[in-house]
Structure 1
């Protein structure tokens, strides 16, 4: 049995709605099934979703204060006032700033831009920056991607003679700043229908308001900000993202071309995934490690030469960022492991250390969540101020912003949303924050919340995953938050073969088959799992279907996400020239605690203890306590049999020789029981024995069908008799040459099937018996199974596979 990493939230869409969508939209059932599962049941709404157009963009003046913002900016342009755009240092902030540069340039405004330094100034407006703006003669400050919480700072700006227009998309606080205009669709009294815009999206709407039309030329920047800030790709965001991607693929600006090149692809190949995983990290790198100005300069560069310089700078910073994240994660992980060992760890990971970079705290927190699936906060301590600044990331079901709100008395500052948050607090309060968050997690999270969940869009067969059907899934693009790539489950497919990929064999590719159809599955980072996924194993598979194109050939493949199996993966390696060498190779790629080693002989046990006793593997004989071939040996059995029985779950059971007695088989059945959590079994010969298994044909002593017919013919001839060991049973045994116990079993089978009438000791052959197969008799099945078990060593690989999986699936 292989347990899934995730809880699979299976689809519930009715087949009727899937069929209707497929017919009315002219799409495959694969596409229709995904749409139906995501709630797209109205045909016209679904058409609008599949074919978003510029006409779907909303009137920007539906947004609260948009008119006031536009009027104030127009006045500043008309009267030659100095404008400063105040941005943010993340990808959404720099794309918002770059978009405003395009807009104000087109308007002919007198302006400049300012982005605070992440580590020195922190997020949002600050009074020192406002003082510098006043010294520079700024009359109007326009915030992008920030400002909605800057109550005190905007009041200060007003005092020193600077008007402020806020454009933002973050959650508004209870008390709002008194600005000239607050443009944020998330305000409670804002009638704008779509609330999911990012900062660059709000700036895009401001440009529409000021220039009187949707500025499709700016959609590239708005799309990057939308995707990078993980905004839902539905509604207006879907239109913006699609328009922006089309623009970047066909008419990319110099900065986008340069950034794509350093990321290793051409702008024409851009997708939402490549923006999220390649462009956005580089745009963020400047703000995390240096200053975000270089990202703004890149996005507004006119010449290829200038764009290349900034792109290379951001690429180098991104490489530094990656190395720093790995180093900080290793330190943070070590700290958490130490807390776990000391039993001091809570339900929420809260770690703080001097020397850490606050700019990468969120990335490190994300890696901790990925490894432990617990909410995580990573905080950098400033040795001079003793303040901790950092970020948190959450799991489904635990609202970080709500949790921090309940702890706000401990913090200098905090902000964010359900999944991610930033905060500042004094180092003396870190422990108290951890304790509070731990209690909140205990109260708000249920047991099942601690296992990550994956929503499954559709369960299909391999026959449904045709090239045409998978190609049609592209109609759902762009994919991202709110509209993820379809997640497909394939049930009961069989692994045919597997092979590792990559310079260090770190990746895995395996082929799955079902009803004559087969596709490849690519599993990144799973090269070490090859032995676990043995050919012949039947699995349920979760992943994303895609089209792989190589040398002009196009075929369907799946990108792996998760799997599960009720089956044991069984490798029959009897006949290996050197069982100990095979065992050494298994031990080399397995953690000791993953292994159970069952030995068929005392000599094999002693050798196994000598070779692997220090590895952590559990090693023992088959015999349960008190049944070790007559004479107990407490010294050996006490250390090994108990370990085998009581050591908890293990993934891999290795058998050095198969059992041959009933008591040994009982022990093996216990090891194979489903509650032990085994994933695979490897069968080797007993290295201490010179004997090897037979050919696997296994004739055995169990009677064949013709022998049952012969015995029943004797019963019909006898007609009626009294039961007794020295009577007709013994006579039949002597006539047929079968053992008396076998004849008795056969008579019991005939009684169960109604071939013999039994009343007390009296027996009578039924003159017109019912036509029933022998295996309808429980006695027949039990006797046959017991006989087969006594011949385990003679079973073929296929027979052994069936028997072991039968033991594994029993309740």
Structure 2
């Protein structure tokens, strides 16, 4: 999917000044400036790995929370830690439970089941805990909206202390304490803690030792912080840095077993390893089974038991991946059968038996592939459609759902991600309402963006410079792995790797040779020939082999060196307007209609390159924008499909069909409509 490339403009004199003042490379200075670190003091704080966490008592209601919990500890009341089934909630539950147990508390953990109970406090769970003798519930990563549930707990004689990090509503629950950095009266300086970060602050307050709490529990806090994709800046950055150091020398049986089963080398652990190898395995338990399995692993003190639990989590993660692929394949088949599904401003689909725990991940993958806000729904046991949505750019999902709340039974979320449910009979009205809202807000929908941190020169490709970039880790939200522009590189060779599953591009760049690894791209899908000039978006890291270090470049995106981005997105937008039957000018309609000669050029290219696996974007790259604009190319492909000369695979690539009769292209519906 073609993305917009954007790069913040930084002045050369500012780059030189910061590089000189901090004793860093120009490339590192450019990255820091692009992320808002403009002075020596700001840069120094960014690199400071010992910056203290702020006092937990800056948070509203923290004193009340500490007093109530301390009373429960002193009098041996039964306490329940009430968590959530995602990675943030599970690690927060493990952290607080472990601390309270060390303090000698009579404590248990309750994590609701995703499929039968849903998110947050519920009356059934509260009643169960009350019947078991619990007199104090402490929530982690939930509770801020549980107004009625807290009142119900109070009616049963159960006090509630809430710790959460989600946005509060107008009315706070009448709990003993409500600790949430997003409260209007909260005086803490850092607001972007994950749920596990708030739980860590609570432990720091209970122990009156924030640094001690961080030293003892940073491993849990780091995993949950990375898992919840909160900004890895300021206090979160310190939490994750400490946690990574702790995990590299971890002795906890559960985490050791999980890393071993996941094939992680602890000494090489990074935030990306946590995000892509540890977090998904913890999340898999809540998505496909019970989050209690993941909690049991984190709390396990027996090495043999831990190995068995870790193996179960890895099996669940593999099953989760298989289910994702199954749903994705089903959706791709639907799209191949009905390309009209891609012509809306939004991609909205429903299935009967899709797993509710994984459709959010599938929605994210479809968003990445098609560049459209994606909403997926599946029928639950009660006959309701439960959905998960992912968005891009300025299309605000929560506002869109709010505008269509009359068709919904429940919804929540934020700009880029949301969950919702509706009655099955309201599905058509919901789809129509969401499309109407999108049309009202945008003539052309927002596009995915790739943020570039700076432009490389050949002089930057040294071990010393790239090592310095690595010191910006841990990478994550708002401190992403820097992606750099390599402008106007000429491809000199394309070498298949791993049996053709990946490619190595050899290029001449800035008058020097370089290699770029292109993962997940098969040889017959590469739309560029040797000799082509391209712009590359790459990440850079240090590779070590046989004791020798070198710079390794990995491709994130590629396009022709003369690519006109604005022209491409305008053409794409007008094509979609035409397909939706929306008004466009006569000039646009005329320019969208291909000539016989243009049809012949594209048809001949496809016939001569029948072994290639191209979608429409790769076909445009291979032909070149000077040959044909993207709107006209898409119209041309529609004409060939309608004439039964072209088919589309479930992967979205094209294949010519053997003609069974002479085709009159001027009689196809698309040609007639435009002409």
Larger Rg: 1
Mapped pair 1:558 → 2:536: no
Structure-2-length-normalised TM-score:
0.83
Cα drift, residue 677 of structure 1: 5.1
Q: How does 1:53-132 map to 2 (within 5 A)?
A: 53=50, 55-132=51-128
- Secondary structure at the residue paired with 1:477? coil
- Secondary structure at the residue paired with 1:540? strand
Cα drift, residue 517 of structure 1: 2.3
Structure 2 equivalent of residue 440 of structure 1:
437
Compared CA separation, residues 46 and 136, structure 1 to 2 (3 A): same
Compared CA separation, residues 673 and 183, structure 1 to 2 (3 A): closer
Compared CA separation, residues 40 and 269, structure 1 to 2 (3 A): same
Mapped pair 1:32 → 2:33: no
Is contact 2:507-2:514 (8 Å) kept?
A: yes
Cα drift, residue 655 of structure 1: 8.4
Query: Which ranges in structure 1 are unaligned for 5 or more consecutive residues?
Result: 569-640, 657-670, 679-811
Mapped pair 1:676 → 2:673: no
C-alpha distance in structure 2 between counterparts of 1:442 and 1:283, whole Å: 39
C-alpha distance in structure 1 between counterparts of 2:129 and 2:604, whole Å: 64
C-alpha distance after superposition, 1:736-756 (max 9, x if no partner)? xxxxxxxxxxxxxxxxxxxxx
Structure 1 equivalent of residue 352 of structure 2:
354
Pick the aligned partner of 1:51 from 45, 48, 53.
48
Is contact 2:393-2:447 (8 Å) kept?
A: no
Compared CA separation, residues 146 and 461, structure 1 to 2 (3 A): same
- Secondary structure at the residue paired with 2:137? strand
Cα drift, residue 567 of structure 1: 6.0
Structure 2 equivalent of residue 427 of structure 1:
424
Pick the aligned partner of 2:375 from 374, 377, 384.
377
Compared CA separation, residues 116 and 650, structure 1 to 2 (3 A): farther
Pick the aligned partner of 2:521 from 526, 547, 550.
526
Compared CA separation, residues 516 and 224, structure 1 to 2 (3 A): same
Is contact 1:165-1:181 (8 Å) kept?
A: yes
Is contact 2:145-2:168 (8 Å) kept?
A: yes
Q: How does 1:709-748 map to 2 (within 5 A)?
A: none
Mapped pair 1:314 → 2:313: yes
Compared CA separation, residues 531 and 52, structure 1 to 2 (3 A): closer
Structure 2 equivalent of residue 587 of structure 1:
none
Pick the aligned partner of 2:502 from 503, 507, 526.
507
- Secondary structure at the residue paired with 1:358? coil
Compared CA separation, residues 259 and 648, structure 1 to 2 (3 A): farther
C-alpha distance after superposition, 1:366-422 (max 9, x if no partner)? 12211211111222212x521122311111111112222222232222222221111
Compared CA separation, residues 534 and 551, structure 1 to 2 (3 A): farther
Q: How does 1:762-781 map to 2 (within 5 A)?
A: none
Is contact 1:255-1:301 (8 Å) kept?
A: yes
Compared CA separation, residues 450 and 59, structure 1 to 2 (3 A): same
Cα drift, residue 424 of structure 1: 2.1
Mapped pair 1:387 → 2:384: yes
Is contact 1:346-1:434 (8 Å) kept?
A: no
Runs of 4+ aligned structure 1 residues displaced above 6 Å come to 647-651, 653-656
Matched residue count: 584
Structure 2 equivalent of residue 155 of structure 1:
151
Compared CA separation, residues 510 and 469, structure 1 to 2 (3 A): same
Is contact 1:8-1:454 (8 Å) kept?
A: yes
- Secondary structure at the residue paired with 2:358? helix
CA RMSD, 1 decimal: 2.3
C-alpha distance in structure 2 between counterparts of 1:532 and 1:252, whole Å: 49
Pick the aligned partner of 1:173 from 150, 155, 169.
169
Is contact 1:346-1:435 (8 Å) kept?
A: no
Cα drift, residue 306 of structure 1: 1.8
Mapped pair 1:540 → 2:555: no
Structure-1-length-normalised TM-score:
0.69
- Secondary structure at the residue paired with 2:258? helix
Cα drift, residue 5 of structure 1: 1.7
Structure 2 equivalent of residue 244 of structure 1:
243
Cα drift, residue 461 of structure 1: 1.3
Pick the aligned partner of 1:549 from 523, 544, 553.
544
Is contact 1:200-1:226 (8 Å) kept?
A: yes
Cα drift, residue 38 of structure 1: 1.2
Q: How does 1:518-667 map to 2 (within 5 A)?
A: 518-528=513-523, 532-566=527-561, 643-646=596-599, 652=605
Structure 2 equivalent of residue 20 of structure 1:
17
C-alpha distance in structure 1 between counterparts of 2:604 and 2:92, whole Å: 51
Q: How does 1:696-707 map to 2 (within 5 A)?
A: none
Cα drift, residue 139 of structure 1: 0.1
Compared CA separation, residues 537 and 430, structure 1 to 2 (3 A): same
Compared CA separation, residues 439 and 156, structure 1 to 2 (3 A): same
Cα drift, residue 534 of structure 1: 2.4
C-alpha distance after superposition, 1:403-461 (max 9, x if no partner)? 222222322222222211112222122222222211222233352x5431111110121
